[in-house]
Amino acid sequence: MTIETLQQHLSFVISLRNEIYTSNNTKAKADSCYEMSRKALAQISQFNPGDSEDLKWSKFSALSKLNAIIDLRNVGEKISFEKNKEKLLSIITQHINDLQAELKNQGLNIKKFVSSLLVPTKDENYSIINIGPLDHLMEYSFLHSKTHQKIDGKVFVGEALQTTSMEISFQELPPQTEMPFVHKHRLHEEVYIFLKGTGQIQIDDAIFDVSEGTIVRIDPEGKRTWKNNSDSPLVFIVIQAVKGSLDSHTIVDGYRVEEPTSWK
């Protein structure tokens, strides 16, 4: 696949975008997604020291087109576009696969930078994704929207799952590395569930050792940071939800449904 072919793909994407624009209230969303992607790609595009300016531009151009298609798919999933929706998403997904293959052929080391690559299986009452083996979390990369820092090994899944009451992230912190800043939240309490490895977490002025099985809840006002001071990866889940929004603990909210199971 040549750069000219990628240009043809871009023309195809533009026509799809124009078609999507005919639906209500989607133009601003699509424009915003594309602009955010363009800025992010400027931060994360990886070039080899020996690349010519033309090759750098070709790589950046290909990455931009890839993200444009990803954004289109996300917009397509969120609007009422029922007549051609499945065909549209199928075509766009195929183009994503083609462009990813082309970018790899160009020697560009692409992280799964956007969690929007996680396409859920969903229906009215559920959504399901698979982020892959936890040993492969370093294939993901998250670009912080405020600090513009790129964090390898971190993936948020709330948007892909379309959660309405919580955000969830998975992270692998490499050996002898640490969170580069201290932070707190405005509304969300957080729960850290450590799955693998050892390290430390700082909350306000207190420092605690963590390891597999450690679970930590932190109030929104708690100042927090963490580090991996070991020689093995530290893997953990972070769940955040609005403080005070839980009505009850354990099984109180659930109730039995008198229906048989579907498997035999």
Sorted by where each starts, the structural domains of the chain and their CATH numbers stand as: 3-110 (no CATH), 123-242 (2.60.120.10)
**Looking at this protein, which amino acid is placed at residue 221?**
E
Rounded CA separation 179/230 (Å): 14
- 3-58 pLDDT, tens digit per residue, is 444 444 444 554 454 444 444 445 555 555 555 545 544 444 455 556 665 665 56
Percent of the chain with pLDDT over 90: 38
Locate all alpha helices (DSSP H) within the chain, ordered by sequence. 3-21, 27-44, 53-78, 85-105, 158-161
- 63-73 pLDDT, tens digit per residue, is 666 666 666 65
Nearest C-alpha neighbor of 142 from the set 131, 133, 153: 153
DSSP 134: G
φ and ψ of 189, to 5 deg: -85, 155
- 206-245 pLDDT, tens digit per residue, is 999 999 999 999 999 999 999 999 999 999 999 999 999 9
Burial 215-240 (b: 16+ CB within 10 A, else e): ebebeeebebebbbeeeebbbbbbbb
Secondary structure (3-state) at 6: helix
Taking the C-alpha atoms of 45, 154, 243 and 224 in order, what is their torsion angle to the nearest 10 degrees?
A: -90
Rounded CA separation 162/185 (Å): 21
